Amino acid sequence: MCDLPHGCCCLQSTFSGNTILPEMSVEEQTRKNKMRTRQILGVIHRLVEVIARGILLLIAYIRGPAHSQPPIKDLTLLHSATTLALKIRNRQLTSEDVVSSYIERIKEVQPLLNCTVADLFEEALKEARKCDDLLKSQDAPSVEVLAKEKPLFGVPFTTKDCIGVANMQQTAGLYVRKNCVAERDAEAIKLMRSAGAIPLALTNVSELAMWWESSNCLFGTTKNPYNNRHIVGGSSGGEGCILAAAGSPLGIGSDIGGSIRMPAFFNGIFGHKPSKGIVSNDGQYPSAHSDDQDQLLAIGPMCRYAQDLPVTLKILTNKTSDLLKLDQKVDMSRIKIYYMEDDGGQHLVSPVDPEIKNAMKRVLNYFEKAHKVKATKLNVKKLKKSLGLWLANMTCKDDKDFSYELTNRQGRLNIWLEFIKWMLFMSNHTLVALITAAFEKFGMKHGSEQHVRLMQQSKDLFQEFKDILGEDGIFLYPTHPTAAPMHHEPMFKPFNFSYTAIINVLGLPATACPLGLNKQGLPIVKIT
């Protein structure tokens, strides 16, 4: 019998005192060198994170005390969207009063949080009055008809400045698009209007919706309602913020790598990314360039109350809603629960905070005690490649990369010249957008050996999850490894979004669910 490492086909012995040691194979030595390099880079990465956070804390302290959103005084703002709709059609509340309450709340929180970039206040009030007039008329539909055909009748909602609302700006946070106006409603907005909902405002995003802090050179930075020193996530960050601050009962976001779920996480609300192909991506900017990108992208609901998720999702899915069986009662005793506390140690990704792991354990204990369902812990090794798999799926074969997008698809940005302009305070782009463009320029190429290999691994991972989950499985996984970072901190931990990005690669539905606050008073959640 031989206990030597697998792969050593030819052995030689070297002497060290009285001990005979086998020489390593070239493959084993290479593997150990790579592991050592990863460990060193990991230590350096953690050190950079700690130093950067310390510097940012010092700067924040110098600038003054942290602030949170003002308290809610109008009780109308505490209702769910479905409850508001119920009260409006039963004439317990008027749509005009509801819309007015949210307008006043937005005006109250906007100076502190900077979550909205445009409003439709006058138009929304006119629509609300029409709803109220209809209910007063002799031709008013019955409560039952309204509940079925217009389940959000008279209820205001907001959406991010990427999803088209007719005759409103659609900048996607790109300076050169400051005068761009949507000619028509995106399909999702059209469906919401058909359900009786009223658009109220547009919310802030990251530049071209490609970063997980909502900040751009057009509208500035959106701040977290729990602590304005911290970020709101991106790219649907303004949307997550306004919902958490009770400036809207319901929102529509979009998600290509976590843009619904990270803002939901950082702001303590619910956010759902639907299965691929279930909700139309029509009317969103920037639109996908390839089928692979389009499969990653999804439009979905964001809200403060869980009961609003299925109602809104049913509206957005339109003709495909029957496929989701949203009205079917779930037998919890038959649900199979699987979980992972982290990604297994992905390179240059922050470790998961112990508080997040403890919150997940409380959820698992609840399922076991309340529903007698014992969860199974998984070790899906391919999740350590989440970032690479997502980047492979985002790669375009027509060289329509981020430098092309930064020109509003009118050419290609001279990245190096733009870096110089940025240092001279002359650029209309954020630093992170320029770094993203540079990173992509020297990154993976479509059709390369690495790209082909990672695309195949994406398919293999999807099949692995399909086999595990079946028709009645749930996978619990952290939405993000930490609570909301401080402003600019994502620059020092850029790959932490991989926890959400991998779910886009799989095309599976995912819901970010609030699990309370951590010791710093910031929200923490999980993905289901």
Active-site positions read 160, 235, 259
Beta bridge mates, 252: 159, 301
DSSP state letter for 151: T
3-state secondary structure at position 250: strand
Q: Which residue, among 326, 322, 299, 330, has the nearest Cα to 310 in the 3D structure?
A: 326
CA distance 230 to 57: 11
Contact partners, residue 229, CB within 8 Å, separation at least 6: 60, 66, 223, 486, 487
CB count in 10 Å sphere of residue 317: 20
CA distance 281 to 148: 25
CA distance 204 to 215: 8
3-state secondary structure at position 49: helix
Instruction: Give the amino acid at 101.
Output: S
Structure-token pair, residue 472: 């009645």
What is the 3 state secondary structure string of 438-495?
HHHHCCCCCCCHHHHHHHHHHHHHHHHHHHHHCCCEEEEEECCCCCCCECCHHHHCHH
CA dihedral 388, 298, 437, 430 (to 10 degrees): -130
The number of angstroms, rounded, from the C-alpha of 155 to the middle of its chain's C-alpha atoms is 24
Q: Contact at 8 Å (CB) between 482 and 350?
A: yes
> Beta strand pairing status for 298-303 and 215-216?
unpaired
CA distance 189 to 252: 8
